[in-house]
Structure 1
Amino acid sequence: MTRPHGYARYRLDGCRCYTCGWAVAQYNDAREHAMRRGTWQPYVDAEPVRVHVRNLQDCGMGLRTVAARAGVDRQRLQAVLNGRPERGTPPQQQVRPALAAAVLAVEPALDNLAPNTPISPLGTRRRAHALVAVGWPQHHLAVHLGMSPSNFGTMLKREHVLVRRALAVRAMYNALWRADPAEHGASLGGMARARAYAADRGWAPPGAWDDDTIDDPDAWPDWTGQCGTVEGFWAHRYITAPACQPCRDAFNADGRKRSAQSPKKAG
């Protein structure tokens, strides 16, 4: 593989073109300024990098995938993890700051995991429930995924779901949450039954979820735009939806506050 022109190609490949020479001059200038300021840090501790890579591996990411996402050579990560046994060298104790920053920025996101990695079903379940809440019959969703209705229902009850299935449900959710089920073959009766089924179980529609929090186990759906407040509690009544836990908590806390502030009757 041919390295792009720059500092590495100058040092490792001996290229002396203008671009490579300029990169080296810039690097040297920055280094000299940092040394004069006392901020020069050519290496950092490799242990945080090593721990992070092993955590990513525990989440189902292979070393090749980690290296690709970080934009570093896989052999460099192997040297950090295990050293170079063929040379009798132990794991690296220090790494360049740029390598550390690149690796530590890699997260075990869904797209980075192996297809058959088991993960929490929470986000998958919330997305499926949200689609039912806006009128998508479950058997239509099952067909969309190439599943039987019974397998679809079983998937939503399991303690884990495979990454490939979670990705498929996420793609389905992104494609259907604003679509009209009737335009995709759902009957009016089927849509009404789906909405009633979801309402009976308190399933939140897509509008109550934020894309950044729908997978967060600590997140709650915001049904009213004011959830978590007393106003949100009464807004639930207005839309005839059961109050969510944050709204109930806010209402109860407000009641206790009012009770504590009210003057006590003389005995």
Structure 2
Amino acid sequence: MTLTPPEHGERRCYLRGCRRPECVNANKRYCKRYNYDRHHTGRRRVDAAAATAEAQRLAKVWSYNQIATAAGCDPRVAFNLIHNQLENVSRTTERRILGAHAALDGIPGTALVDATGTVRRGRALAAIGYDRNDLAAELDINADAVGCLLNAKRRQVTSHTAQVMAAAYQKLSNTPGPSTRTRMRAARLGWAPPTAWDDDTIDDPNAHSEWTGHCGTDRGYHLHKTEHIPMCPPCEAGHQQWLAEHQHLKGVELRSVITRARGQAAGRGAALAENARELLAQELSWEAISIRLGADPGQIAAAMRKYPATDDRQMGMAA
């Protein structure tokens, strides 16, 4: 946060030693108000618990700068309240913070919109290595709010948040992030990377990510299994539907059909290995290849071992 320097006519300028008339008068006004409040309204400062709780609730949607603008207080106050760093606040600050929600409706970019596309874009960036601190810096909101966003704790976000997330996604989605830990966590949670989303459908709540090129079908299910790609709900549902449609098959006949489906899925591994070799020949890094092909480096390496190049096979036979 940037601290604004004191200006003449403010009490804080007086406290720094300035004795210009306007600064002296500002100090006198403060002292008079202080004495009046002490005699007529009791303590001027109150416990910060209520203001802190409200500021933290607002911070799940709005930035601390937006909250400070709506409340008419210093951004530092809003920031400290959000991070629970104040034990008490003035009655005026408490009143302004508690009434900030109504004022936020009048600030541009604060209209609420569906959070589906924003959550998906954030998770996609996490899947390629951008942690919540990286995203917070890019979006200019606090990291806790980004965490709530990634964990889909809100159904709506402000239009401003949706816009800056879309801009960050456009900027970062083709470049791997620095956090391996975040990438591994996203894979464990099944968060789809940018390559699994289409720009035309990422905001559609009824659309699903396309991990395999056949997601939502039984073939997609076997592709997930064969290539060790995190299973997506549509493929799980597609496989269950396939089992229901083929429940009349028994024994050898059922195993034969399943084996054929797995064989079709194996073709994707061969294509993955071939494409990876072409990109390696272009001297792309493993991270860049991973982003381009939409597969984890481990999955790509496994496919290359399972499906060696033709020259590799011929050398092995000659040996």
- Structure-2-length-normalised TM-score: 0.42
- Structure-1-length-normalised TM-score: 0.50
